Every structure is written in structure tokens, then in C-alpha cells.
Structure 1
Amino acid sequence: MVGREVAAADHPSKEVREVLKRLVADGWKLRSEGHWGTLYCPCEEHCTSIRVGGTPKNPGQEARRVQRRAKLCPLPPDDPRAALRGGNVK
């Protein structure tokens, strides 16, 4: 992780912003890297990182992509954050 930490509320797209807010509340780290930012999973070894574009052509599709990728983080089943990761993005 190299960039400065950014707030999920700073994302210009409403749909992506809502997904980012949920993930950051669940322990994900959002850093200013790339075209807008990168999400890092809450695991100690940061097994999953997700690039987040600042101006997606289709914000709803971008929000769903971020949510799908977030579900790939293999948190242990007994970790309370594992139950919070899911959720539907409309």
C-alpha cells in the first residue's frame, strides 16, 4: 500500500460510493492509487486488492464488479467480517 488513505465518500459515482462505504466499514482499506483508488482486503496479508476507477462508463456495473471481487477474499468462516462481506448491489 503506497497511496494516501481516501474516504469512500470522495468517489464521484453514487453506486460505487455505496459499495465502498460498506467495504470500508467492514475493514477494507481504500488508498489513492491508480486512476482513482485501490481497495485492500482486511486480511493481514492483503490477499485481494481491487482497482477502483474514478469515472466508470457504467457506475452500476463497476459497483457490482467491486462487490464481486470483494467476495473473493478468503476470510475464515469464524471471522465476523465474513458474514458482512456479502450483500446485493442494485
Structure 2
Amino acid sequence: MVGRELSAADHPKKEVRAVLDRLVAQGWKLCKEGHWGRLYCPCEGRCLTIPVPGTPQNAGRAARKIAARAALCPLPDGDPRRAP
């Protein structure tokens, strides 16, 4: 992680902000990097990073893409955040 930590409330689009709020509550870290920010997964070794656009053309699509990429995180079997 390079940049300072961001709050999900800093994002200008409400659709993306809602997804970021949920992921940060699950343990993801949101840092200032790139054009707006980057999410780091909560796994040991930071296995997955997701770029977060600041001004997406379609905020709903950007939010769905972020959520879909976050679902690919390989959390351990015993982790309560893992989807059944």
C-alpha cells in the first residue's frame, strides 16, 4: 500500500460508495492510489487489489465490477466472510 488510507464516504458516486462501505466493513483497505483509489483484500499477503475509478461513466456498472472482483478473493475455508 502506497497512498494514505481513504474513507468510502470520500467517493463522489453513491453506487460505488455503497459497495466500498460494505467491503471496508469486511476488512478491505481503501488507499489513495492511481486515478482515485485501490482496494486491498483482507487475506494474508494481500492476494488481490482492485482499482477504484473516481469518476466512472456508469457508476452502477463500476460498482458491480468492484463487487464481482472482490468476490474472487480466496478467503480461507473457516473465515466467516466467505460466501457459502
User: Structure 2-normalised TM-score?
Assistant: 0.96
In the TM superposition, 1:1-90 aligns within 5 A as 1-83=1-83
Give the count of matched residue pairs: 84
Deviates more, 1:72-81 or 1:55-64: 72-81
Per-residue deviation, 1:77: 2.1
Alpha-carbon distance between aligned partners in 2 of 1:34 and 1:28, rounded to the nearest angstrom = 17
Per-residue deviation, 1:76: 1.2
| Sequence identity (%) | 67
Unaligned runs of 5+ in 1: none
User: Structure 1-normalised TM-score?
Assistant: 0.90
Counterpart amino acid of residue 3 in structure 2: G
Runs in 1 of length 4+ with deviation above 4 angstroms? Answer: none
Unaligned runs of 5+ in 2: none
